Amino acid sequence: MKTKKTRKSTSSFGLLTIAVAIIVIAIAFIAVKKYAPSNERMSLNDYFKVKGDNMAVIVDGEYDDVEGEEAPAKLINSSVYLNIDFLKSKLDDGYVYDNVEKVLRYTTNKNVISVKTDSKDYTIDKENKSFEKPIIKEINGIGFISIEWAKKYTDMQYTTQKNPNRVIIEHAGWKKDVAILKKNVAIRRFGGVKSKILGDGKKGESVVVSENYGKWSKIVSPDGIIGCVQNSALRDITSNSTKSTLDKREFKHKKFGKKITLGWMQVTNQSANTQAMKKLDDLSMVNVVSPTWFYIADSNGNVGNRSSREFVNYAHSKGMQVWGLISNFEDKSIDTQTALNRTSSRDNLVDQTIAAAISSGVDGINVDFESISASEKDGYLEFIRELSLKCEKNDLILSVDNYVPTEYTSFYDRDTQADFADYIIVMAYDEHFAGSKKAGSVSSYPFVKNGIEDTLKEVPKEQLVLGLPFFTRIWCTENGTVSSTAVGIKDQYDKFGKSGGEAKWLDKECQNYAEYKDGDKLYQCWFEDSKSLGKKLSLVNQKKLAGAAFWKVGLEGYDTWNTVMNYMTDK
């Protein structure tokens, strides 16, 4: 009996041991399964979502998931073609594509390049050139440009990969951190060993490190896979930049030679030149006058001209230069968008502007295109580019008027303007304007100062001219409705009325201010005078700007030019 009992105990112990072993093995299996790296792979076709002849594009280590006809690139006859809009937004905004007349333009610091859709031929100015394949292809109204041809003008390097089709682009000057892989390593979709594998990094490969997550880093492999590897797999991390393959463009600017004091002169018809010419006798402080002579006459780019050679000759006899102003607001019914965006109209606009300048004998052109919309941006900037090259060839100074920078005028692209134009004038007025719902200063000191400083972020100080007003506004508020009337410096006190009492100085605005009530009406005025003007003109010297401009001659007060002389005389 004892022997049987012992055998039963031994048997039970054995079963228990086996059970424990099974549990241990199961726990170990679960633990291994939980913490062991996953071998599950994600298809690159699923990752890049490329279909048909579309191509994925990786630019400077970033991938944008864009599908359909608006794909960033296409493989056409075994060649890579980039969506022109994508190229402009990511690499080079200089391309201007007219999808009506089917013409692409690109302007360098020296030449205007032009090519038509589906053509292998193109021109550099008037010189004919040829390429081995069509330069532009259009698909469903969207232009695609040969990347090989674009590389002639856009400073970039690129490689291509198949399965799926993709192009990896690096823009010249792209700053990046580069590392070497210590060993073969799985490139995972996200950080962590359980994330799906996108590709395999090879020992000794160079990869771009775009982000460090602690134990993991986001990298870009040579074949364009963007994923994560463990930091323990990286060595020799260094910083460098993508090398340039093109010569740096040097932009020349025609200099005035001394501090600019410019007076805009409003000339509304040909006969008004006689009266305007008489005013030159009182402008001894001014060294540049800019009469409003030229304007866009129609959507075909024809230019209206009310210039006077006699006026120019008389101004020259007074030691003044004349910069003829061309505007886009003479006739607000004109379709400016067509005039600027349609290639033939823009060519006509450029040619006629130059012809008008030459025939009148002016020394320069002042472009004052206002209320430009974002849809006109490309045509507007191309107009400035092409006009600047022709100004240079004809020994003309080109200046361009701009609003103070705001978010909704950022597309004016003042840095591009500054590359091509000789001077940029910031119109530091209309802080509050005719349509404002609130009364306020036309040009307070903080508004002017901020306008200068924001413009200097895009424009070199030696090219920047400060535009100031010789006018203010008298405001009337009645039952919550605000209206205003523009008045010149010489008339502001008389037109404001005697009821306002004595004006008081506002330290913040750096202006005199007065108000009074007449029944339910509240009248207000922020005055422009010698003191306020002097405060703002002092910024020209503080910021070492190229000069100042004033809108407009005829609105100044009796001592205005003395104030200008005190601040604008070269010392």
Which pLDDT score is estimated for 1?
Answer: 46
Range 174-241: architecture per CATH: Roll (2.30)
Range 260-470+528-568: architecture per CATH: Alpha-Beta Barrel (3.20)
Which pLDDT score is estimated for 2?
Answer: 46
What pLDDT band is residue 21 in, cutting at 50, 70 and 90?
A: low
Q: State yes or no: pLDDT of 185 exceeds 70.
A: yes
For residue 301, give the H/E element and its range. none
Which pLDDT score is estimated for 9?
Answer: 55
Same CATH fold, 260-470+528-568 and 174-241?
no
Q: Which of 256, 237, 258, 317 is nearest to 283 (CA)?
A: 317
Question: Cα separation of 381 and 12, whole Å?
Answer: 92
93-122 pLDDT, tens digit each: 999 999 999 999 999 999 999 999 999 999
Domain ranges of the chain: 44-161, 174-241, 260-470+528-568
**What CA–CA distances, in Å, run from 91 to 72, 83, 419?**
12, 11, 17
286-337 pLDDT, tens digit each: 999 999 999 999 999 999 999 999 999 999 999 999 999 999 999 989 999 9
Asked whether the beta carbons of 421 and 462 are under 8 A apart, the reply is no
Question: Cα separation of 363 and 256, whole Å?
Answer: 10
- Write down the pTM of the prediction: 0.92
Q: State yes or no: pLDDT of 67 exceeds 90.
A: no
**What CA–CA distances, in Å, run from 274 to 83, 109, 314, 469?**
54, 39, 11, 24
Which pLDDT score is estimated for 23?
Answer: 66
Question: Cα separation of 242 and 252, whole Å?
Answer: 26
Percent above pLDDT 90 for the chain: 90
Asked whether the beta carbons of 188 and 180 are under 8 A apart, the reply is no
Q: Identify the residue with better confidence: 497 or 37.
A: 37
231-258 pLDDT, tens digit each: 999 999 999 999 999 999 999 999 999 9
- Return the CATH number of the domain spanning residue range 44-161: 3.30.457.10
Which pLDDT score is estimated for 36?
Answer: 85
DSSP E strands, 153-299: 156-161, 166-171, 175-181, 185-188, 197-201, 206-212, 216-220, 226-230, 234-241, 260-265, 288-291, 294-296
Backbone torsions φ then ψ of 316, nearest 5 degrees: -65, -35
If you average pLDDT over every residue of the chain, what do you get? Answer: 94
| Residue whose structure tokens are 């503080």 | 542
